[in-house]
């Protein structure tokens, strides 16, 4: 498995007595945090970004994002600037499997109505992410589990019996059942899910401004839907519920619909 290197960079630009700070690395699958004073508007390409009263905002690039992206900033004094990101190519692991084992085949037909009901619940929960403009993530970020081995990396793909499967949009950590799982940052629990077919028991947290995190296959939940949680608060315990082949935590991060490498957040401080 490729080693994951955590990176941190800060771009500091001073324009017309305004100061913009961007934290993170601009590449596919990464999120960045921005902060500036006297903001009037911030846009990524044609999307207007939220910012709080402290001038904190966030944005991200999907796993498969390519090309040039423009961050457009307007200040209350009428001045403006544009930051250009020319995204580099990023390679991901590919795993080819030839197997007839049940965990690599489709779900039984009798489970399809249940799966569709649960997908609709997830769609409704995710549709609420982005309403909160408070930057709860300004508390900073931490790993959701301690002393655990990474067994699945972000962006990898399995090709099973020559058929490409879904991209792995998160990180997997192998750990004993009952190991504590913590929230990566402050936020609101949008959904504490109970025994979903694929996700098992899980927690979906809204960190504000479209940034969310999800924790799958839990044995036990320690929080409820609508609860405010803080960085480092216990939200559940490792399990092997749902579509899981062994005890582990799947940790995923999204910025709206963009899939984000969770490790791109660790080490960001502002």
pLDDT score, position 96: 73
Rg for the chain (alpha carbons), in Å? 19
Highest mean pLDDT among 107-111, 154-158, 223-227 belongs to 223-227
- pLDDT of 269 strictly over 90: no
Residues 66-92: what's their mean pLDDT? 95
**CATH number given to 94-259:** 2.70.70.10
Instruction: Give the model confidence (pLDDT) of 118-166 as tens digits.
Output: 999 999 999 999 999 999 999 999 999 999 999 999 999 878 777 787 8
Q: Rounded distance, CA 144 to CA 150, Å? A: 12
Residue 178: burial class (beta carbons within 10 Å; 0-12, 13-18, 19+): exposed
Domain ranges (residues) in the chain: 10-86, 94-259
CATH 2.60.40.1930 fits 10-86, yes or no: yes
């Amino acid at each position: 498995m490729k080693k994951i290197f955590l990176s941190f960079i800060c771009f500091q630009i001073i324009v017309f007595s305004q100061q913009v700070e961007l934290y993170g690395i601009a590449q596919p699958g990464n999120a960045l945090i921005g902060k500036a004073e006297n903001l009037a508007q911030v846009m990524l390409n044609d999307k207007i970004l939220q910012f709080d009263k402290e001038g904190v905002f966030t944005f991200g690039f999907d796993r498969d994002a390519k090309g040039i992206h423009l961050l457009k900033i307007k200040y209350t004094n009428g001045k403006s600037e544009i930051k250009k990101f020319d995204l580099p190519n990023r390679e991901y692991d590919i795993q080819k499997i030839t197997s007839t084992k049940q965990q690599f085949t489709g779900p039984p037909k009798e489970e399809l109505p249940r799966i569709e009901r649960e997908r609709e619940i997830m769609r409704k929960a995710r549709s609420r992410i982005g309403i909160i403009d408070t930057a709860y993530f300004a508390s900073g970020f931490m790993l959701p589990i301690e002393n655990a081995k990474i067994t699945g990396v972000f962006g990898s793909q399995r090709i099973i019996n020559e058929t490409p499967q879904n991209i792995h949009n998160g990180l997997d950590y192998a750990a004993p059942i009952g190991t504590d799982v913590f929230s990566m940052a402050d936020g609101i629990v949008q959904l504490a899910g109970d025994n979903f077919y694929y996700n098992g028991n899980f927690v979906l947290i809204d960190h504000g401004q479209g940034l969310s995190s999800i924790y799958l296959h839990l044995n036990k939940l320690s929080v409820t839907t609508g609860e405010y949680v803080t960085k480092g608060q216990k939200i559940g315990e490792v399990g092997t519920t749902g579509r899981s082949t062994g005890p582990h935590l799947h940790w995923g991060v999204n910025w709206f619909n963009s899939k984000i490498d969770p490790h791109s957040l660790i080490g960001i401080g502002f």
